[in-house]
Amino acid sequence: MTDVPVPFELVPPNFVPSRFDNHIQRRLSNMQGQYLDQQAYHSLLAEEDRLLYQVYELKRPELAGELLHGISIVHPGKVGREYYMTKGHFHTELDTGEVYYILKGHGFMVMETPEGSWAVEELCPGRVLYVLPRWAHRSVNVDPQEDLVMFFVYPGHAGHDYGTIEEQGFRKLVLEQGGQPAIMDNPRWSLPGAP
């Protein structure tokens, strides 16, 4: 972590930051219970614990005045008909948002609120998506070949709540249907607190 303001570069074609403090790699084994087709999940996992996505973080103190930022790279691929995706999370401090700037690839951001509102927005290079405070978010790569690469920035005190999503996933899934991405209801999902 630097204590003086110095820039870094995001160099095409892969946009890995020229300087970073933390490199996170998430594999199939980190996504237990998240994919709809559990049979496809377990047979893929038996073959190889594939790398699904990576995050390069520029560390800052986790304080309200700070801005945490970095690059996320979701690789192409599918588990059954469901595309590679991030775990997804609410921010622990619910009233914190996040800006994503899409550098490369094609995907969707799947979002929802604790009250059950949902939104799915398409991601393509040059596009900016502001994920509003209170909205959980997951990025999905729907391109058959290319990485989905995004720059993100969010408040230092946001924190990550993965547990809520781990319980039943997001309300909406993005799956391949007839060669195209399609948005579907997640059969495992019900409004938290509903009978």
Of 62-101, which residues contact ligand PAN (CB under 6 A)?
72, 86-89, 98
| The residue to which tokens 């609120």 are assigned | 113
Among 79, 90, 98, 109, binds Zn ion (CB under 5 A): 98
Of 104-163, which residues contact ligand PAN (CB under 6 A)?
137, 139, 152, 154, 158, 160
Residue 112 binds Zn ion (CB under 5 A): no
- Taking the least distance from each CB to Zn ion, the nearer of 41 and 90 is 90
- Taking the least distance from each CB to ligand PAN, the nearer of 138 and 177 is 138
- Taking the least distance from each CB to Zn ion, the nearer of 98 and 112 is 98
For ligand PAN, the binding residues (CB under 6 A) are 26, 55, 72, 86-89, 98, 137, 139, 152, 154, 158, 160
